[in-house]
Amino acid sequence: MKTHSITFLPDNITIQAAAGKSVLDAAVAAGLAVNSVCGGDGVCGKCRVIVKSGKVTAKPNMFLDRREIQRGMALACQTFIDGDVTIDVPFESRVGGVPQLATEDAIRYGSISDWVGEGALFPHNPLFQKIYLDLPKPTISDCICDQERLYREIRRSRDIPIMQTGLAVLQRLPDILRQCDWKVTALLGCRGGTVEVVDVEAGDTSASNLGVALDLGTTTVVAHLVDLTTSKTLATKAKYNSQITFGDDVISRIMYGATPERRTQLRDVVVNDINDLIAGLVVDAKVKLNDVCMVACAGNTTMIHLLCALNPANIRKDPYIPAVCCPPVIRAAEVGIKINSRGLLATLPSVASYVGGDVVADVLVSGMMRSPDLSLLIDLGTNGELVLGNSDWLVCCSASAGPSFEGGGITCGMRATNGAIEHIQLGRNGDIVQCNVVGGSKPLGLCGSGLIDAVGELLKAGCIDRRGRFDPAACGGRLREGDSGGQEFLLFPSALTALGRDLVLTEADINNLIHSKGSIYMAMECLLDHVGMSFDDLQHVYIAGGFGNYLKIDQGIRIGLLPDLDPAKFKYIGNGSVQGAKMALLSQEALKNVQDQIAGAMTYLELSTNHKYMNEYSSCLFLPHTNIEKFPSLMPAPQKQTDAAVAR
């Protein structure tokens, strides 16, 4: 097999790759995280690279214009090496940078004392505990074995009916007990109904009991380092999930994970991210990795399957069956997570294929199941999940919103990181009045909240009609014909942008957003209809998910993504996933509550076969809705013409 060398810039990494291998595959092999929404099918255009030198064969595609091709630009997944090559991977094609909003978000919601502790909802009773034991020495009269002695002493301060100890610990036990003069610290980890003596450490290490609360998102991974004794959050970190290279959404990743080898690859890639985060947290907090003994993880069903390298194939096939909903507590090392070598990994339970532990965690954090008030929880992100209910009952569903909220499928779309327009305000003729860019530099693209803002503003200014089509008369000089034939609106000319390319919003982009928001709104209607209630019955609307924090309520209502209710009813709960994981970490009662009262009580509604959803979805494809009466605060003054016509 002929091989060639392929050098990646600006990283300056060179590897050998087989002739005919795609540049994308080579980049992955070289450890570079290259963007790919479609997982290498050549249909998203996000893996642009520049061939600096060398021979390649590139398959034609519709994403690159002539200027770009002349510059040597190519799609990494459609370009195959024919000789030694040098490839420049521009920064907009990398899954890199730090997810800006998620990080700020990570800092903002660090405190947990409202939920767990003295006088709070759940008692402080962490999933992992370290107890210092000063054991009475054995004598002729007190001659029980070492293990029994240990258990007896533990049971003096804890009521633990069932305990277990691994062979590795037993092998070390006699020696360590006698070496430390019978003064040791027992490390106890909760394993569902039993408690495991995970390890026995010399002397008193009980003050260093650390855990990690992990939000394993499809797009971003967030980790909080928690002192399990004091309940304090010591450090927080976030990064993009490197599985993105294999597909932006759960479906494409499930399809990628068709073989055990690929599932191992997917697992290793995300575990690598997790280990990076944990290593970073430990450095930031100046603690020892060995003292981190417990990870509590909340993620959607597919993410958990991929973390454990479980076969997720049946999640996406009728009747949509996960392999497991309530995974057992396992040794973190079994999946490759690097903490204390005998440390444990617990995951929050999921409800169904498309409603996972992340949403269950959101429910816990919102408190909606502790109040008789009717509440709706919306988790907006890569997927869109909804939970409706109160202390008596809970129903949930999942709406396939598509990637537009994360910038996917949008011409100048991007994730919420440096360069993303997260807020924009337009005036007459679509002139830009105000614009906030993450990181403060020149704009690179539109992230989800920026996209919603832009469409809301264009609608308000009359630049687009209710279908999202541009009205030339109202757009001033900013409207023009795009390369692919449709109409596009110029937000920023190339001179003002970070990439030196015009930043535009096309009719196709707006159409994608309309379909996404329509899915969510229709899902809300179906959920309410299923239990015979209406939007007016709602007392609270909780918005969760990292993206949800930056969603302006009024814009959300204006485009018909959110129901037209009193803004006071809406509440952001931020990253409920990591907060819920943290609560579980700090309180066994909280985890039990999640398993029995929340996940166990949520009734899942399958939308793909829902009669109402299929019949009425098209009504949501107007801005805000075909039936404007559903949005009374947005109803225009009655058209004089129509009234007169009817009167005639």
What is the pairing mode between strands 420-426 and 445-446? parallel
The answer to the question of residue 552 lying near other proteins (CB under 8 A) is no
Least CB distance from residue 140 to other proteins, whole Å?
Answer: 53
Contact 214, 581 (CB under 8 A): yes
Q: How far apart, in whole angstroms, are the C-alpha atoms of residue 94 and residue 481? A: 29
Nearby residues of 476 by Cβ (< 8 Å), 6 or more positions away:
429, 430, 431
The answer to the question of residue 531 lying near other proteins (CB under 8 A) is yes
* Binding letters toward other proteins, positions 91-130, x by CB under 8 A: ----------------------------------------
Determine the 3-state secondary structure of 522 from DSSP: helix
Which helix (H) or strand (E) is 643 found in, with range?
helix 640-647
Least CB distance from residue 603 to other proteins, whole Å?
Answer: 4
Residue number with CB closer to other proteins (290 or 314): 314
Rounded (10°) CA dihedral 265, 270, 272, 273: 150
Residue number with CB closer to other proteins (476 or 600): 600
The answer to the question of residue 390 lying near other proteins (CB under 8 A) is no
Q: How far apart, in whole angstroms, are the C-alpha atoms of residue 360 and residue 387? A: 9
The DSSP bridge partners found for residue 184 are 133, 202
The residue range among 17-25, 228-236, 364-372, 392-400 that interacts with other proteins, by the rule CB under 8 A, is 392-400
Least CB distance from residue 225 to other proteins, whole Å?
Answer: 35
The sign of the torsion formed by the CA atoms of 469, 471, 477, 481 equals positive
Q: How far apart, in whole angstroms, are the C-alpha atoms of residue 195 and residue 161? A: 9
The residue range among 85-93, 165-173, 280-288, 524-532 that interacts with other proteins, by the rule CB under 8 A, is 524-532
User: Cβ atoms within 10 A of the Cβ of 158, count?
Assistant: 14
The residue range among 118-126, 206-214, 215-223, 391-399 that interacts with other proteins, by the rule CB under 8 A, is 391-399
The residue range among 57-65, 192-200, 452-460, 638-646 that interacts with other proteins, by the rule CB under 8 A, is 638-646
H-type helices in 470-536, by residue range? 507-530
Out of 466, 480, 501, 552, which residue is the one contacting other proteins (CB under 8 A)? 466
The answer to the question of residue 642 lying near other proteins (CB under 8 A) is yes
The residue range among 20-28, 461-469, 473-481, 494-502 that interacts with other proteins, by the rule CB under 8 A, is 461-469
Residue number with CB closer to other proteins (66 or 648): 648
User: Cβ atoms within 10 A of the Cβ of 360, count?
Assistant: 30
Task: Return the HEC string of 1-58.
Answer: CCEEEEEEECCCEEEEEECCCEHHHHHHHCCCCECCCCCCCCCCCCCEEEEEECCEEE
Tell the burial category of 156 from Cβ atoms under 10 Å away from its Cβ (0-12, 13-18, 19+): exposed
Q: Please, which of residues 195-214 interact with other proteins by CB under 8 A?
A: none
The answer to the question of residue 317 lying near other proteins (CB under 8 A) is yes
Contact 32, 243 (CB under 8 A): no
Determine the 3-state secondary structure of 371 from DSSP: coil
The residue range among 6-14, 236-244, 360-368, 635-643 that interacts with other proteins, by the rule CB under 8 A, is 635-643
Residue number with CB closer to other proteins (50 or 533): 533
DSSP 8-state symbol, 291: G
The answer to the question of residue 648 lying near other proteins (CB under 8 A) is yes
Residue number with CB closer to other proteins (12 or 641): 641
> Site size for other proteins, by CB under 8 A?
37
Residue number with CB closer to other proteins (480 or 530): 530
* Binding letters toward other proteins, positions 584-603, x by CB under 8 A: ----------------xxxx
The answer to the question of residue 481 lying near other proteins (CB under 8 A) is no
Out of 467, 534, 633, 635, which residue is the one contacting other proteins (CB under 8 A)? 467
Residue number with CB closer to other proteins (1 or 646): 646
What is the pairing mode between strands 233-240 and 220-227? antiparallel
Residue number with CB closer to other proteins (38 or 307): 38
- The residue type of 383 is N
Contact 477, 452 (CB under 8 A): no
The answer to the question of residue 465 lying near other proteins (CB under 8 A) is yes
Out of 316, 442, 460, 552, which residue is the one contacting other proteins (CB under 8 A)? 316
CA dist 506 → 66, 78, 361, 478 (Å): 20, 25, 37, 11
Structure tokens, 483: 């390369």
Q: Please, which of residues 21-50 interact with other proteins by CB under 8 A?
A: 41
Residue number with CB closer to other proteins (170 or 395): 395
Least CB distance from residue 580 to other proteins, whole Å?
Answer: 20
The answer to the question of residue 618 lying near other proteins (CB under 8 A) is yes
The answer to the question of residue 626 lying near other proteins (CB under 8 A) is yes
- Omega of the bond prior to 123 within 30 degrees of 0, cis? no
The residue range among 84-92, 135-143, 490-498, 637-645 that interacts with other proteins, by the rule CB under 8 A, is 637-645
* Binding letters toward other proteins, positions 425-454, x by CB under 8 A: ------------------------------
The residue range among 268-276, 299-307, 405-413, 640-648 that interacts with other proteins, by the rule CB under 8 A, is 640-648
Residue number with CB closer to other proteins (11 or 465): 465
Q: How far apart, in whole angstroms, are the C-alpha atoms of residue 155 and residue 161? A: 9
What is the strand order of the sheet 194-202 is part of?
Answer: 128-134, 183-191, 194-202, 163-165
Q: Kindly report the length of the chain.
A: 648
* Binding letters toward other proteins, positions 393-412, x by CB under 8 A: xxx-----------------
The answer to the question of residue 1 lying near other proteins (CB under 8 A) is no
What is the strand order of the sheet 292-299 is part of?
Answer: 233-240, 220-227, 210-216, 292-299, 344-347, 330-331
Instruction: List contacts with other proteins (CB under 8 A).
Output: 41, 316-318, 392-395, 465-467, 530-533, 600-604, 608, 611, 615-616, 618-619, 621-622, 626-627, 639, 641-642, 644-646, 648
